[in-house]
Amino acid sequence: MAQVKATPQTYDVIVIGSGAGGGVAAHVLTLAGAKVCMLEAGGWYDGTKQSDMFKWPYNAPHRAAGTKEKPFGYYDATLLGGWHVPGEPYTNASGTDWMWWRARMLGGRTNHYGRISLRMGPYDFKPYSRDGRGFDWPITYDDLAPYYDKAEELIGVFGTPEGLENTPDGKFLPAPAPRGYERLVKLACDKVHVPCIPSRLAILTRSIHGRPACHYCAQCGRACGINANFNSPGVHILPAIKTGNLEVLTGAMAREVVVGPNGMARGVSYIDKKTRNEFTVNAKIVVLAASCCETARILLNSKSSLFPQGLANSSGLVGRYLMDTVGSDVDGYLPILEDLPPRNEDGVGGMHMYMPWWHYKDQRAGKMPFARGYHIEFGGGRGLPGADDFGGSERILGGGYGVELKRNIRKVYGAQVGFTGRGEMIPNADSYCDLDPDTVDQWGIPVLRFHFKWSQDEILQAKHMQDTFKEIITAAGGKYFTDATAENNWGISRGGAIIHEVGAARMGSDPKNSVLNSNCQAWDCKNLFITDAAPFVSNADKNPTLTITALGWRTSEYIAEQAKKRNL
Amino acid sequence: MTEKSGVSRRDLFQIIGSVPALAAATAGSSSAQTHETRQGAYQRKIFDDHNWQTVRVLCDLIVPADERSGSATQAGVPEYIDDWLDFRKQQDGNDDLAAQILGGLAWLDRESSRLSKTNFAAADPEQHMQLLDRIAWPETATPDDRRWAGFFTKFRDLTLNGFYSSKMGIADLPYLGNTAVENWKGCDPAVWAKLEERMKNGYKGLGGEVKPWT
């Protein structure tokens, strides 16, 4: 039978979560000499031992197709997690169609993510000042720039200096040469005046910090067996363990931050999933990095007589202004790519080129029908054939069968290019998570209920994506395919589907309208910090992971400094 | 596939997918193995003995052996299709796809019997071609044949998916990756020269004509 126990030791810091935010906190704090205890709700994971790199889909069930348990395929690095976590439900309020991805494993989503590493630009920190929508961050690009430098130098990001507006360059490793279809699409983009530049991914094109360079097998999503891409276990956590200052507890499901009579965080109560016993681990400082929504859930569940609305929630803003990224897709078929000599087009596990947002001038001139912008990601080429990759041939060939069909498939294989947008969502009051009044998970913890709405800005952005992708495909002499219409809001993604949820405990300069101060320290509880994406004030089109890493680094340095000054 | 890898391949002609469809039923990812992992031990889940004969004939009409590679049955495609129909049934919580395929197979026999007094599997090659020519090009199928052309399109997708994801099909394409590359050089100069030539002079391909654009 479950029982509640307390551990005798008091740590300097407890970090809840081991993804990008928890990893960087553990890394920086243990190197600064702090004794850290990390709680991870999932199991141990080390990609160098557990990666399914180089395996073939024909050796897996159903040719490695995605299932409910493994939505991104049999070989995906996510061992336990996905849109459904067994025994750990969430609910949607009426009218909401939110999806929530969780990875229950050491390193969280960093094991399988796209490694896209884009700095937010100076405009992105002051969106309200620029267009009167949303909110400003309490920090500027210049405040974060040194931490972007540090993050890039540690995790390793390739790219090229371009000097483009609001698209800051970084400390880049050399970019890999583009694939053939990428060079071609760049020329098509030149025709329609869309910038197309080398992408910026956290994959090593040369060896750094004892980690070897990429061998270009394109399977980063399966985790890297040689640690050549950024992942929290291989880059943050294992080195932190080597300092002797980090203890990692896996299968530890955080339930509540425990607060002392003085209103300070005293420790964390968690359920040990193996025994179902509840433990309390004590520390001088608590860092939440459970992922944006899970962090909000822990705060809302940390109710006490001192904090009846949940911890750090005197503003009522915990869970509020939840954001995801806007997505919309168009598929293209480029006849010019047909029947080319066979070649290995794998490259890194992601795009070698991309298109940053380019309409700043038109926006300033009031010529754009929506606020904010998006970048374009694209893929194609002669990729690894898996389950369900050869459907729809009649759309190109008209139909057919027999020897002629076989000959034709060889010619059209690799002539497809697909485009997807990743755009900024403006925070709105209708999008938030709170505690479901009825539902609990199998650990006896109240679960989140989601409320979510896109605004007209996001929908018009999706339309603009559609128009742009069609224009690029047409400029390359291709055919486009899309189901997007005005009726389905131009194919806009479901809320949560892009897995960029941010903003549920935002930082600010006024305790009345923010949860955290400019150091990601809770206004209401000064030894409580957040290092995941919950502190984000806006959700620029730049994918969140690099900013989580930089901001988490800055917060962790602040914690170390304050601890040394005995201010915490 | 959303955040993962930016852009993921899903379908030859539908590369960018949204997230995989959410399944209503519990999946049985461990319950089925492909033919290639358990050669000879395959237990059929959807097709009966007669269906099986028809499926084998139809698969090989779609992907026959040629000078470069073997046929669909030699690559284990009938086993792949049987397993895939059962898998979708479990994942999607309905058997609509299996019904469409079984229904189409039944129509092939019905139509074959009407025309030549024999079921489809036993009919002669000329009879096979006569029937397939009616349903293998959806745009030109008659309104009466429309739903059977829809069946054939789906069956062709299944056959191509099964064949080109097999070891034999991967060598046929050929797909040359999933291996360590010591020195990545980007686009092969010979490939780029060909693309430049096509951009300059235009190109007429299977999927349409490209006008000169440089």
Task: Identify whether residues B68 and B135 lie together within a single domain.
Answer: yes
- CB under 8 A, 24+ apart: contacts of A512-515: A512/A315, A513/A135, A513/A315, A513/A317, A514/A138, A514/A315, A514/A317, A515/A299, A515/A312, A515/A313, A515/A315, A515/A317, A515/A318
Taking CB atoms and an 8 Å limit, are B165 and A99 in contact across chains? Answer: no
Q: What are the distances in angstroms from CA A18 to CA A142, A459, A549?
A: 27, 34, 12
Q: Do B206 and A396 touch (CB under 8 A)?
A: yes
Same domain, B103 and B202: no
Q: B195 and B98 in one domain?
A: no
Q: For residue A208, what are the β-bridge partners?
A: A211
Q: Are residues B70 and B6 in the same domain?
A: yes
- Yes or no: say if B195 and A336 are a contact pair by the CB < 8 Å rule: yes
- Chain B 82-121, CB below 8 Å of chain A: which residues? 83-84, 87, 91
Cβ atoms of A449 and A433 within 8 Å: the answer is: yes
Mean pLDDT, rounded, for A383-393: 94
Residue of B nearest to A499 (CA): B3
Touching check for B190 and chain A: CB below 8 Å?
yes
Tens of pLDDT along A413-444?
Answer: 999 999 999 999 999 999 999 999 999 999 99
pLDDT > 70 fraction of chain A, expressed in percent and rounded: 99
Q: How far apart, in Å, are the Cα atoms of A68 and each of A59, A380, A448, A461, B19?
A: 19, 25, 21, 31, 11
Tens-digit pLDDT profile for residues A71-117:
999 999 999 999 999 999 999 999 999 999 999 999 999 999 999 99
Q: Give A268 to chain B, closest Cα distance, Å.
A: 31
How far is Cα A324 from Cα B92, in angstroms, rounded to an integer?
26
Tell me whether residues A116 and B6 touch, CB distance under 8 A.
yes
Q: How far apart are CA A515 and CA A521, in angstroms?
A: 8
Instruction: Record the tokens describing residue A508, joined without a space.
Output: 């600010």
A54, A57, A379 ranked by CB distance to B7: nearest? A379
Mean pLDDT of A488-507: 98
Q: Give B80's contacts in chain A (Cβ within 8 Å).
A: 63
> From CA A558, how far away is CA A382, in angstroms rounded?
47
**Nearest chain A alpha carbon to B172:** A410
Q: What is the pLDDT of residue B41?
A: 82
Test the A interface: residue of B10, B11, B19 with most A CBs within 10 Å:
B19
Mean pLDDT across chain A, nearest whole number?
A: 97
Q: Which residues contact A149 (CB under 8 A, 6 or more apart)?
A: A170, A171
Shared-domain flag, residues B90 and B195: no
Regarding whether B205 and B151 lie in a shared domain, the answer is no
Chain B, residues 11-70, CB within 8 A of chain A, namely: 11-20, 22-23, 25-27, 29-34, 36-37, 61-64, 66, 68-69
**Tokens 């002392």 found at:** A260
Strands (E), A170-273: 197-198, 246-249, 252-259, 265-272
| Chain A with chain B: Cβ pairs closer than 8 A | 356
Its domain, for residue B212, covers 187-214
* Predicted-complex ipTM score: 0.95
Residues B173 and B196 occupy one common structural domain: no
CB contact under 8 A, A72 and B166: no
How many Å apart are CA A448 and CA A258, to the nearest integer? 20
Domain count, chain B: 2
Chain B residue whose CA is closest to A219: B178
Query: Is A215–B182 a contact, with Cβ atoms under 8 angstroms apart?
Result: yes
Residue A5: predicted pLDDT: 73
Are residues B86 and B192 located together in one domain of the fold? no
**Residue A235, phi-psi category: left (phi > 0), alpha (psi -120 to 50), beta (remainder):** alpha
Domain identity same for B32 and B127? yes
Q: Which residues of A touch B20 (CB under 8 A)?
A: 66, 71-72
Residue A28 clears pLDDT 60, i.e. is over it: yes
| pLDDT at residue A3, rounded to an integer | 61
Summarised one tens digit per residue, pLDDT across range A119-167 is: 999 999 999 999 999 999 999 999 999 999 999 999 999 999 999 999 9
Quick one: average pLDDT of A28-34? 97
The predicted-structure confidence for B142-176, as pLDDT tens digits, reads as follows 999 999 999 999 999 999 999 999 999 999 999 99
Nearest to B12 by CA among A400, A416, A398: A416
Q: Same domain, yes or no, for B15 and B79?
A: yes
Please name every residue paired with A141 in a beta bridge, in sequence order, or none if there are none.
none
Quick one: B170 and B214 in the same domain? Answer: no
Confidence of residue A9 (pLDDT cuts 50, 70, 90): confident
Q: Which residues of B touch A115 (CB under 8 A)?
A: 5
The full set of domains in chain A, from first to last, is 1-45+91-149+233-323+429-451+501-568 (3.50.50.60), 157-229+326-423+455-491 (no CATH)
Which CA distances in Å does B70 have to A389, A412, B76?
A: 20, 20, 10
Closest chain A residue to the Cα of B181, Cα to Cα: A215
Domain shared by B126 and B33, yes or no: yes
Q: Closest Cα partner for A104 from A253, A323, A278, A275?
A: A253
